[in-house]
Amino acid sequence: VPMTLADMIPVPDLGPKKIKLFWQTLGITTLAGLQEAARAGQLRALPGMGEKSEAKILAGIESLSRRTGRTPLEKAWPFAEEQLALLRGVKGVVAAEVAGSLRRMRETLGDVDILVAATLPELVMAAFTTQGAVARVLGGGPIKSSVEFTNGMRAQVWVHPPEKFGTALQYATGSKDHNVRMRELALKQGLSLSEHALTPVDGGAEILCATEEEVYARLGIPWVAPELREDRGEMAAALAGTLPRLVTVNDLHADLHMHSTWSDGKATILEMAQAARARGLRVIAITDHSHSLGIVQGMKPEDLAARQMEIDAAQAEMGDSLRILSGVEVEIKADGTLDYPDEVLAGLDVVIASLHVSLRQPREQITERLLNAIRNPHVDIIGHPTGRQIPDRDPADLDMDAVLAAAKESGVALEINANPRRLDLNDVYARRAKELGIPLTINTDAHAPDQLALLHFGVAVARRAWVEAGEVVNAWDSEKLLGWLKAR
């Protein structure tokens, strides 16, 4: 049996019997061959097949290639953390960092690149390539190895001498365009910047940099956070001394979007509250779904009183250590109205309005739906504004200029949903919102206690959007935050 047949197993709607059939009747042994045959209409005539099942297989191959083309941050991040922990424990290792898109916290990435500063490269290569989860070694040498893991991830490790680690990490972090600007700046100062060193063009001695901070300092500018290195104005800001003081996870005291067993959450209000306090939060909002969202059991307005009793009981348990707000994630229905009447919304501490259904409406219609919600005076937050999901659901076709203008006018906060499958708003829209002075809020949308840990993914989007703590509602002190909510 050809090994490449196994590549077809992950295709949705395609079982081993069919794979065998295609191989034995048409001699198809590769995924590419299968795609070609499906496109040419050769599968439909086979026993048990038809036009529909052929189209399904073709769609399956396409969704698979879209999914495997780039790895979502959700999968790459914990994998990279494990690899770093392993490598940092190897004898002679001074530092280990991810580089590339992952260090810049792009929402999807190709392979995971890891740079190691070490005095004994052979030990690093051995530890990396012989760990249990390695499926195969794709290539390697004394200071570089490339490996595929059993979970499908691919990673490369480079070892550099500690005294050159700064230039190497700066180079490997990218982006390409940022590095072009860096080399231009270096050349203006008579230096050639490479991954190994800064070298005077007139032939002086190489300048080695053990840290990235030294690389930037040698060029007379402050260190630029990796999330900013996209050639979106960061070099000019660095030269002018106007780089933003980017928001950090530690700046956030509140999480204003999470679910409990009152809708589709897995945990009680008290369990969510305890988990939030353990993470150092001071304020949370329980924002269960409203009932018209048919796919999950939502909350009817008449459930609110009973839920409030559970909130009160949890609040009594938590005392002053954590404030629990009563909220809802109210559905923006297909006709543009909200799922709860205004008088119900008026009685809640936090109202998030979100689109979940009819996301493929034409631009004018779906934009109008969102504008209705933005203009409702009881709505505090627009949840995951564009409705996209990574990797397979595109954002709704919204007129974002109109959305941002309306948000600015109404003072509603726009969410950066921290779930790595959403990251919505994305970095580009979040930066536009910031520039317009629209308040932003970073929330986990947790459906279970452990998902409260996802906050840092939302913070990464905010950082890529140049956002500072003062621009994020969750970073305000409790008094200011509660005052803002009350005034709305």
Chain residues 352-371 in contact with Zn ion, contact rule CB under 5 A: 354
Per-residue interface string for the shown chain with Zn ion, residues 158-177, x marking contact by CB under 5 A: --------------------
- If one asks whether residue 445 binds Zn ion (CB under 5 A), the answer comes out as yes
- If one asks whether residue 443 binds Zn ion (CB under 5 A), the answer comes out as no
Closest CA to 465 of 158, 106, 30: 106
Q: How far is the CB of 348 from Zn ion (least distance, A)?
A: 15
Q: How far is the CB of 295 from Zn ion (least distance, A)?
A: 11
Q: Which is nearer to Zn ion, 166 or 387 (CB)?
A: 387
Report CA-CA distances (Å) from 171 to 18, 418, 424.
Answer: 47, 28, 29
Q: Which is nearer to Zn ion, 252 or 381 (CB)?
A: 381
Q: How far is the CB of 356 from Zn ion (least distance, A)?
A: 6
Say if CB 333 and CB 290 are below 8 A apart: no
- If one asks whether residue 419 binds Zn ion (CB under 5 A), the answer comes out as no
Q: Which is nearer to Zn ion, 145 or 354 (CB)?
A: 354
Q: Which is nearer to Zn ion, 329 or 427 (CB)?
A: 329
What tokens does 90 get?
């190897």
Q: Is 41 left (phi over 0), alpha (psi -120 to 50) or beta?
A: left
Which pairing describes strands 323-331 and 350-354: parallel, antiparallel, or unpaired?
Answer: parallel
Q: Which stretch binds Zn ion (CB under 5 A): 65-73, 156-164, 298-306, 441-449?
A: 441-449
Q: How far is the CB of 259 from Zn ion (least distance, A)?
A: 6
Q: How far is the CB of 331 from Zn ion (least distance, A)?
A: 9
Q: How far apart are CA 205 and CA 216, in angstroms?
A: 18
Largest interatomic CA distance in the chain: 79
Q: How far is the CB of 451 from Zn ion (least distance, A)?
A: 11
- If one asks whether residue 424 binds Zn ion (CB under 5 A), the answer comes out as no
Q: Which is nearer to Zn ion, 102 or 442 (CB)?
A: 442
Q: How far is the CB of 329 from Zn ion (least distance, A)?
A: 5
Q: How far apart are CA 65 and CA 74, in angstroms?
A: 18
Q: Which is nearer to Zn ion, 179 or 290 (CB)?
A: 290
Neighbour-count burial of 335, counting CB atoms closer than 10 A to its CB (0-12 exposed, 13-18 middle, 19+ buried): exposed
Q: How far is the CB of 353 from Zn ion (least distance, A)?
A: 10
Q: Which stretch binds Zn ion (CB under 5 A): 19-27, 127-135, 322-330, 335-343?
A: 322-330
Per-residue interface string for the shown chain with Zn ion, residues 274-313, x marking contact by CB under 5 A: ----------------------------------------
- If one asks whether residue 329 binds Zn ion (CB under 5 A), the answer comes out as yes
Q: How far is the CB of 1 from Zn ion (least distance, A)?
A: 45
Q: How far is the CB of 347 from Zn ion (least distance, A)?
A: 20
Q: Which stretch binds Zn ion (CB under 5 A): 30-38, 329-337, 363-371, 386-394?
A: 329-337
Q: Which stretch binds Zn ion (CB under 5 A): 29-37, 325-333, 371-379, 476-484?
A: 325-333
Q: Which is nearer to Zn ion, 264 or 368 (CB)?
A: 264
Q: Which stretch binds Zn ion (CB under 5 A): 111-119, 150-158, 312-320, 437-445?
A: 437-445
Number of residues that bind Zn ion (CB under 5 A): 3
Residues that bind Zn ion (CB under 5 A): 329, 354, 445
